[in-house]
């Protein structure tokens, strides 16, 4: 599962919208921001990747399983489109790599002895803090 999964362009829906914030007169005339929509359930991604993507607690994923990414960083439509696709790819790559399974191991004998010696030493220090008996 270590290889990269690319999303076919026909599974991504991109629409141009007007960007928010400062930008002078240009911001009111040009639709340079991008809304990217990607339906996880209808995608061609492998089942394991889709399940992990849906379980991801990301606020950009709706309850219906649709990823919505808004990109308005650049002044050009092409730059924002590329940025939105990059963010989607980053999200997919984050769940594509399975974490290594932890194999339980036993501590070595010397590690156990060191731990118990430390506990004994500490206990004797604490025992010396009690009330003095005459």
Give residue-wise pLDDT tens across range 114-130. 999 999 999 999 988 98
> Residue 38's closest CA among 76, 1, 92?
92
- Residue 29 within a domain: yes
Residues 55-88: b if buried by 16+ CB within 10 A, e if exposed: eeeeeebeeeeebebbbbebeebeebbebbbebb
- Residue 118 within a domain: no
Q: Tell me how many domains the chain contains.
A: 1
- Residue 67 within a domain: yes
- Residue 111 within a domain: no
- Residue 131 within a domain: no
What's CA 113's distance to the chain center, in Å?
Answer: 41
Domain of 67: which CATH number? 3.30.160.20
- Residue 17 within a domain: yes
- Residue 119 within a domain: no
The predicted model scores a pTM of 0.60
Q: How much is the pLDDT for 46?
A: 76
pLDDT digits (tens, 9 = 90+) for 63-100: 787 888 888 778 777 888 888 888 888 888 878 777 78
Containing structural domain, residue 21:
9-96
Residue written as token pair 């156990």: 112
Residue-averaged pLDDT of the chain: 81
């Amino acid at each position: 599962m270590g290889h990269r999964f690319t999303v076919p362009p026909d599974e991504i829906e991109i629409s141009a919208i007007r960007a928010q914030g400062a930008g002078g007169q240009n911001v009111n005339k040009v639709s340079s921001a991008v809304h990217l929509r990607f339906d996880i359930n209808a995608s061609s991604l492998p089942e394991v990747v889709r399940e992990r993507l849906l379980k991801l607690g990301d606020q950009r994923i709706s309850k219906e399983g649709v990823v919505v990414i808004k990109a308005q960083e650049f002044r050009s439509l092409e730059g924002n489109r590329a940025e939105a696709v990059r963010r989607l790819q980053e999200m997919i790559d984050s769940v594509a790599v399975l974490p290594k399974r932890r194999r339980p191991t036993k501590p070595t004998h010397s590690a156990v002895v060191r731990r118990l010696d430390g506990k004994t030493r500490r206990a004797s220090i604490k025992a010396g803090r009690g009330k003095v008996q005459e």
